[in-house]
Amino acid sequence: MNIVEHFVKHDKNRVAYISDDKKITYEMLFSTFKNYYNFLKSKNINNDDHVMVVLEDSHHFPALVLACFAVGVKFYVPSPTFTVSNLQAMLDKTKTRHVFCNTKNEKVSKLQKVFIHEIEDIDLVPDVDLDMHQFDKDETAMYLNTTGSTGDPKLIPHTMVSIMNYAKYFSRALGIQKPTTLYCIPKICFGHGFGISLLVNLYTGSGAIIYSDSPTPQKIEKVFNLYQPRYLFMVPVIANMLVKKKRKIDFSMLEMAVCSSDFLPDVLQKKFFELYGKTLLNMIGQSECFSYYTIAKDTDYAHGSIGKPLPEVQVKILNGSKVCEPGEIGDLHVRTPYNAVEYFGEDIKTKDTFNDGWVKTRDRASLGANGSLFYKGRIDNLMKVKSLFAHPLEIESAFLAMDGIDDVLIETFNDENGIPNLQAKVVVSKKLDTMEIKQAVGGSLDSHKIPKKIIFVDNILRTWNGKKIRQIKGEK
């Protein structure tokens, strides 16, 4: 079994990627893939080896990944914000000997005891016959990694069965029955970017739009003017940027617009619809389940939900060992045909997360009457103030409903006596005072959930995939 077998059968004249506005056909992609395959073979890099891939988005990225799949070499793609020590720890843990990167990558140049291959310097290599590696059902094909937001980044092994199932079932859930055009703004190095721009794209013979630099409202507008993609995937921070800039982008050709990675506030979803006439669907996933495990559709969407589980996905919401009733909030557990079963080299954390095919997501959720899931925040972000629990998601939603507040971060601080209290960091678009804000949010929040301090800031710090970076002090 190997996903490359699907890739080589596609129409060679069809566009596989629009890479920095250059059209790359499947024939051109195959040529690049084959040269990387020849290079791996020439260096005796085989299915006993690990490879680290640190590349900007371009057609070289999927070409190298496909070459690794074809050879059977295990690879992983670390976050661009990982430190040199993070990268070195991954290399040492997996006994990786080879790193592929772009020219003059400063972090990679500081790594020790590895061979560094800069893709711009890889010339044409003598051709060898394509001998496709066939993966066993339990054999690791690649690793995804966690963000490291709750500790050191963890590597998550995925088999070719997991990869193929994700490509097949999610493509089917999206309704892609023939080649189409995909625009996933998150980079390929992120789980949802990898899943859409690489796996779904190449499994269905579609074309994906990718850029090596960061997205801007002007660039997104250009993409829709030139290429008219049918599927759009973004994160809330990008949606917020478009709404604030009020770019007049024609989204009429879109079959689906998806927002993921972090919670999509109701007020942002409403503003997006008012501006563009398109429902921005909120969906969720995580690296332990490869990526998405819910699907949202315009025709059957419960407002404020993260969609319904994919047909092949099972979910259960538990309070301890008790299954929650519809509407009751509990801990979300997920079983999919593309789940991982462990963290690499992390026995204790594996036992805490993976159990008999189920993944403990560490998300809080409830189940609606129509089967839709409603996201209630991360267990790790639950705060305890005045002996009562509070979740930042509920409080932030109350703040964002107020006119003039563009962004907000709820976290805790310890007062002069070491007692934890709530504080809000807010980004405003007009002059507001703290008393005015407290009075506005007090109408929808219990008294212990109203922040003691409000701090005005220029922006909210986020991780590489758009999640807010927050401090939680005191008892959780």
- Spatial CA neighbour of 134 closest among 156, 169, 171, 159: 159
> Does the pLDDT value for residue 380 go beyond 70?
yes
- Spatial CA neighbour of 174 closest among 27, 25, 296, 22: 296
Output the pLDDT for position 244: 81
Output the pLDDT for position 428: 92
Mean pLDDT over each residue of the chain, to the nearest integer? 90
CA 315 to each of CA 51, 361, 382: distance values in angstroms, whole numbers, following the listed order: 34, 10, 22
- Spatial CA neighbour of 75 closest among 138, 174, 197, 158: 158
**Residues 472 and 383: beta-carbon distance below 8 Å:** yes
Identify the bridge partners of residue 116 per DSSP, sorted by sequence position.
Answer: 99
What is the C-alpha to C-alpha distance for residues 273 and 303, in angstroms, rounded to an integer?
12
Output the pLDDT for position 134: 96
Average pLDDT over residues 190-214: 94
Average pLDDT over residues 122-143: 94
Output the pLDDT for position 475: 43
135 vs 472, which has greater pLDDT? 135
Burial degree of 97 (CB within 10 A; 0-12, 13-18, 19+): middle
**What is the CA 245 to chain-centroid distance, rounded?**
24
What is the C-alpha to C-alpha distance for residues 416 and 322, in angstroms, rounded to an integer?
40
- Spatial CA neighbour of 237 closest among 88, 409, 445, 384: 409
What is the C-alpha to C-alpha distance for residues 49 and 22, in angstroms, rounded to an integer?
33
Average pLDDT over residues 304-325: 91
List the single range of 243-247, 357-361, 388-392 with lowest mean pLDDT: 388-392
**Residues 368 and 302: beta-carbon distance below 8 Å:** yes
Under DSSP, is residue 171 helix (H, G, I), strand (E, B) or coil? helix
Span 44-98, pLDDT tens digits: 999 999 999 999 999 999 999 999 999 999 999 998 888 899 999 999 999 999 9
Neighbours of 328 (CB within 10 A): 12
Output the pLDDT for position 87: 94
Span 442-474, pLDDT tens digits: 888 888 899 999 999 998 887 656 678 776 555
Torsion of Cα atoms, 82 then 87 then 88 then 89, to 10°: 80
What is the C-alpha to C-alpha distance for residues 323 and 192, in angstroms, rounded to an integer?
29
H-assigned helices in 264-331: 266-276
263 vs 66, which has greater pLDDT? 66
**Residues 14 and 27: beta-carbon distance below 8 Å:** no
Span 5-56, pLDDT tens digits: 988 889 999 999 999 999 999 999 999 999 999 999 999 999 999 999 999 9
Under DSSP, is residue 359 helix (H, G, I), strand (E, B) or coil? strand
Output the pLDDT for position 57: 93
Burial degree of 456 (CB within 10 A; 0-12, 13-18, 19+): middle
Angle between helices 266-276 and 236-245 (to 10 degrees): 50
> Does the pLDDT value for residue 220 go beyond 80?
yes
What are phi and psi for residue 457, nearest 5 degrees?
-130, 165
What is the C-alpha to C-alpha distance for residues 346 and 201, in angstroms, rounded to an integer?
32
Identify the bridge partners of residue 233 per DSSP, sorted by sequence position.
Answer: 184, 258
Output the pLDDT for position 476: 40
What is the C-alpha to C-alpha distance for residues 281 and 304, in angstroms, rounded to an integer?
9
Q: Under the phi-then-psi rule, with left for phi > 0, alpha for psi from -120 to 50, and beta for the rest, what region is 362?
A: left
Name the DSSP letter for residue 455.
E
What is the C-alpha to C-alpha distance for residues 283 and 258, in angstroms, rounded to an integer?
7
Average pLDDT over residues 179-186: 96
Residue 377 binned pLDDT confidence (cut-offs 50, 70, 90) = confident
**Long-range own/partner contacts, residues 381-384 (CB < 8 A, 24 or more apart):** 381/470, 381/472, 382/476, 383/410, 383/412, 383/420, 383/422, 383/472, 383/474, 383/476, 384/420, 384/474, 384/475, 384/476
> Does the pLDDT value for residue 420 go beyond 90?
no
Output the pLDDT for position 381: 74
Average pLDDT over residues 327-350: 95
